[in-house]
Structure 1
Amino acid sequence: MDSRTMIASLPCLALVIVTLGYLGLCVVSPFGRCRACHATGRTRSRLGRIRRDCRHCAGTGLRLRVGRHVINHLHDEYEAAKR
């Protein structure tokens, strides 16, 4: 391999490492902080006075990560194919 090929393959290798690291994080810690309520579980109504449960996280302050959604979908497809 010459140096140009090595330099061209570095961004691809970095992308693979970052992706696998994120999927590993999703396996170990499937829930992240809710961005809508800043992990408090409560949001203000449109009028600004009434505090209600966050509809994005159902008042828990946690949400399922996007990567975990992907893992769950792939697992469900695999289980469906085995039937």
Structure 2
Amino acid sequence: MVLASLAILLTLAGYATLCAISPFGACRKCDATGIRQARKGIKLCRRCHGQRYRLRAGRRLLNASRTVHRDGTR
């Protein structure tokens, strides 16, 4: 039980470090090309808007918590 808890904590710490060092990850929808094949031709990816990178979920959570903390302490 202790070993499983330690493994989960290490995994979460590793992901938090990854989000702090590299907040953007490659877009999985367009395979980081920025464009998608459509029936009528080529269009920009709707998820990344052609930027090829998206904000990681952990970084999005961190930014939201910072905003809530900042707004609550003013």
Shorter-chain TM-score category?
A: over 0.9
Root-mean-square deviation over aligned CA pairs: 0.8
- Aligned residue among 32, 39, 42 for 1:51: 42
Q: What residue is the counterpart of 1:3 in the other structure?
A: none
Q: Which has the larger radius of gyration?
A: 1
Equivalent residue number for residue 4 of structure 2: 11
Say whether residues 1:23 and 2:16 are aligned partners: yes
Runs (5+) with no aligned partner, structure 1 = 1-7
C-alpha displacement of 1:51: 0.7
Deviations 1:1-30 (CA, angstroms, capped at 9, x unpaired): xxxxxxx20000110010011011001100
List alignment gaps of at least 5 residues for structure 2. none
Distance in 2 (CA, whole Å) between partners of 1:40 and 1:21 is: 27
Structure that is richer in strand per residue: 2
1:66 aligns with 2:66: no
TM-score by length of 1: 0.85
Aligned with 2:46: secondary structure? Answer: coil
What CA deviation, in whole Å up to 9, does each residue of 1:13-67 have, x standing for no partner? 110010011011001100000001000000011x2x5011101001011000000
Segments ≥4 residues shifted beyond 4 Å: none
